Amino acid sequence: MDPVIWYPGHEKRIGPIVSAKNCTLYDEHGSRYTDLESGVWCTSVGHAHPRILKVMAGQAERLAHTGFSFSSQVVDEAALEILALHGFEGGACTFLCSGSEAVEYGVRVARQLSERPLFLTMSDSYFGAYGSASTRGKEAWLPFDWSGCEACPHQGPCSSACDLWKNIPFESVGGFLFEPGSSSGFVRFPPTKLIEGLARTIHQNGGLLIVNEVTTGIGRTGRWFGYQHYDVVPDIVAMGKGIGNGYPVSVAACSKRVMERLGTPIPYSQSHQNDPLGAAIAREVIRIIREDDLIRRSNELSALLTQGLHTAMNKYDHLKAVRARGLMVAVDFKDTAGTPFTTKVHQHLLDHGYVVGRRPEASTLRLDPSLTIDESDLHGFLTTLDTLLAAEETDHA
């Protein structure tokens, strides 16, 4: 029996992996794999980045962990840099361990400030493994099904002229928890006018906008944060995954307005809250992305990758759709019940050394490479996919 419990649908398929560098993994036999999933969105600047390793070693040698009654200057410095990214000068943030935790912290802050019982969210969003946002009970959460909004025929902003909009009880909504693109791993981006209309209306009614940037943040979508593709101003932002580059650190950031209204912080504490090691790593990730101009680079790489995928979609009949923002990319395949073709593609890519993301039993593959990935790795992936699709057409000719 395997001594490690693996989540169903994400079983161990390769390995053991013994080392990694940037986007390349090596197993115990010396086989090489290209990680096009960033270790599930996490390694934003690549595995074993030398600057991250140096910071980790140096900070761990000086001070890795603190208690509730003492801290370190690096925590303050990291907090200020993160707050500045959001324009949250005068606000505050707390360092935690996981994205789920950061989302839950933000929700608890918003709940404490809200006098209304319901929080709105998109019905296909994922917010973490525990807490109120993960369970989304009917007494506290209002899921909004936006599946019909992409093809909305109406011009102008969302309004009560729309039955979907008219059915939102804004008078009972105290906040909007927004995930700008993951859609539980399927990579769907809600329409601009819908999100901007919801955020505007909720703010006008005194509510709060909480944004879950665990998957979409830290340069993933071609901007620092996914919400920056919309004309909205968040009150609370949850960050995780890429901000630690594989190290388990997350951040919940609150605007100045929120902190002024909050007064006393919410009663939430855990053993590794505001640890200097996690804060030092988060600060270095931000500095690497800024100094190496990786957000600009990610948009260039996104254009290369999506152009290749669209070429394949026009060339072969098996591809149904391509969705992308920056280096958050999804490919839908034309498939039948049980997704046999998508399963075949997924395994074929793995057999040829390419690790991509896939939701269990879904006909979608996800590509979320590090912002530092080599162009040659993307060309290699596209060539491997093209070869498979060409062979399929030949077999069925």
* Residue 259 and residue 333 in one domain: no
What is the predicted pLDDT for the residue at 154?
82
Dist CA 96 CA 75 (whole Å): 12
* Residue 44 and residue 60 in one domain: no
- Whether 166 is in a domain gets the answer yes
* Residue 232 and residue 347 in one domain: no
* Residue 322 and residue 237 in one domain: no
Dist CA 136 CA 213 (whole Å): 18
Lookup: tokens for 334: 């034309």
This prediction's pTM: 0.96
- Whether 341 is in a domain gets the answer yes
What is the predicted pLDDT for the residue at 129?
76
* Residue 140 and residue 235 in one domain: yes
* Residue 228 and residue 284 in one domain: yes
* Residue 31 and residue 131 in one domain: no
- Whether 5 is in a domain gets the answer no
Indicate the burial class of 356 (C-beta count within 10 angstroms; 0-12, 13-18, 19 or more): buried
What is the predicted pLDDT for the residue at 384?
97
* Residue 273 and residue 328 in one domain: no
Last residue of a domain, one of 292, 309, 325: 292
What is the predicted pLDDT for the residue at 397?
59
* Residue 225 and residue 318 in one domain: no
Q: Strands, E, within 128-276: which ranges?
A: 141-144, 173-178, 208-212, 236-239, 250-254
Q: How many structural domains compose the chain?
A: 2
Dist CA 52 CA 331 (whole Å): 31
CATH number where 343 lies: 3.90.1150.10
* Residue 167 and residue 246 in one domain: yes
What is the predicted pLDDT for the residue at 223?
98
- Whether 9 is in a domain gets the answer no
Mean pLDDT by 10 residues, the chain (397 residues): 79 86 96 96 98 98 93 96 98 97 96 94 84 79 89 83 89 96 89 95 96 97 98 98 98 97 92 97 98 98 98 95 97 93 95 93 95 98 97 77
Lookup: tokens for 10: 């994400």
What is the predicted pLDDT for the residue at 137?
81
What is the predicted pLDDT for the residue at 163?
85
Last residue of a domain, one of 266, 292, 318: 292
Q: Which residue has the tokens 């161990």?
A: 12
CATH number where 267 lies: 3.40.640.10
Query: Where in the sequence is the domain holding 37, given as residue range(s)?
Result: 17-48+293-395
Is 332 in contact with 12 (CB distance < 8 Å)? Answer: no
CA dihedral angle for residue 315, residue 320, residue 325, residue 327, rounded to 10 degrees: -70
